[in-house]
Amino acid sequence: MLPERNPLSASIAIAIVDDDELVRTSIAGLLRSFGIRTAAFESADALLVAGANSFDCIVSDLQMPGTSGLELRRFLNDQADVVPVIIMTAFPERANDARRLGEHFPLIEKPIDSAQLIACIQDALGCRFD
């Protein structure tokens, strides 16, 4: 059974950035089941060209060819309109290196736990849409 659609979720737009097409499509499908608008990108560079600031939140893989998820987050944090970036990875020890250097960001380990991802997005946006 799909979750009941909340009118708030229809106004949310989330970008999914991962070089793995299966990951992109599965996360997009999950978020759409909540009535959330999504757009999927195979790289951080493709998202930046499309306009990252047009999204309410970004869910990005940590390690990708070209710009990494952390580099994307750092770049966006330097912008006037900061878009929250949730990092997902199958290699959490690489993200922990950045955390040891004082960076703080939401981190989700792959394989993705859908309830954890939804909770993380809600925390990043400061709202509930379930």
Q: How many domains does the chain have?
A: 1
Instruction: Specify if 72 maps to a domain.
Output: yes
Q: Which pLDDT does position 97 carry in this prediction?
A: 74
Q: Which pLDDT does position 130 carry in this prediction?
A: 58
pTM: 0.89
Task: Please state, in angstroms and rounded to a whole number, the distance separating the CA atoms of residues 15 and 61.
Answer: 11
CA distances from 129 to 5, 7, 18 (A): 8, 8, 24
The enclosing domain of 19 has a CATH number of 3.40.50.2300
CA distances from 38 to 31, 50, 53, 100, 104 (A): 7, 13, 14, 32, 25
Q: Which domain holds residue 97?
A: 13-125
Instruction: Specify if 6 maps to a domain.
Output: no
Q: Which pLDDT does position 3 carry in this prediction?
A: 46
Instruction: Specify if 8 maps to a domain.
Output: no
Instruction: Specify if 57 maps to a domain.
Output: yes
Instruction: Specify if 70 maps to a domain.
Output: yes
Q: Render each residue's pLDDT in the chain as its tens digit; 130 residues.
A: 444 445 456 689 999 999 999 999 999 999 999 899 999 999 999 999 999 999 999 999 999 999 999 999 999 998 878 899 999 999 887 777 777 777 788 999 999 999 999 999 999 999 887 5
Q: Which pLDDT does position 96 carry in this prediction?
A: 74
Indicate the residue type of 44.
Answer: A
Instruction: Specify if 75 maps to a domain.
Output: yes
Instruction: Specify if 79 maps to a domain.
Output: yes
